[in-house]
Structures are given as C-alpha cells and as structure tokens.
Amino acid sequence: MPQFSVYRNPNPDTRGMYPLLLDVQSDLIEALATRVVVPLSPAAAMKGRRLGTLTPPLAIGGRQYLMLTPQLAGVPVRSLGPRVGDCAARRDEILAALDLLLTGI
C-alpha cells in the first residue's frame, strides 16, 4: 500500500462528507493491519474554510478536495475501499500539513 495513495471511503456513515481517504503512513510499516489516513472532503463542500498549510487542496480525478489534516485517524486496512489515486507528487504539501499538525511548525 503505497504512501500517499487515495482510497474510496466505503463507510456509508461518513463517505458523504469524506468520500476519499489519503494514506499517509510510511511504506516501511505496511505489515500493520491498520493505516493512518486523512479524510479528503470536496473543496466546494468546505465553503471556503481552508486553513492554509493545514488543509492543502488536492486534485483527484479532476475534482478538488481539501486534506482535513486535523481529522487524522487510524483505520483497519480492510476498511479501505478501492485505490482511486496517488498524491505522491504533492508529498511536500502533505508533509507540511502533517508537520504543522504534529509539531506546530
């Protein structure tokens, strides 16, 4: 499961607001039964509530999403839907968001 892969959210209770999940966990620890993910929400649904570095915009499948970094979570691998994208090219922005959340810088 490559780091920065994007998966569909199969959970019917949350997929309306968070249709995609961004895997931010290192490939070095892929043997775990869980993955650390950040939900992605359609940018239009956020109505301009972007928080700069903390919630970078990401384009997946021609649509704009916001990375909701403060909602970082661990989920079982089995609860990830199909892989639908890759954000490895946006590594620097993703890591900047995580760094701001975890260290404040």
E-assigned strands of 1-105? 5-8, 20-23, 34-42, 57-60, 63-67, 73-76, 83-86
Boundaries of domain holding 79: 5-103
pLDDT at site 44: 86
Q: Could you read off the pLDDT of 54-78 as tens digits, one per residue?
A: 999 999 999 999 999 999 999 999 9
Q: Could you read off the pLDDT of 83-97 as tens digits, one per residue?
A: 999 999 999 999 999
Confidence of residue 51 (pLDDT cuts 50, 70, 90): confident
CATH number at residue 79: 2.30.30.110
For the entire predicted model, the pTM comes to 0.94
How many domains does one find in the chain? 1
SS3 category, 49: coil
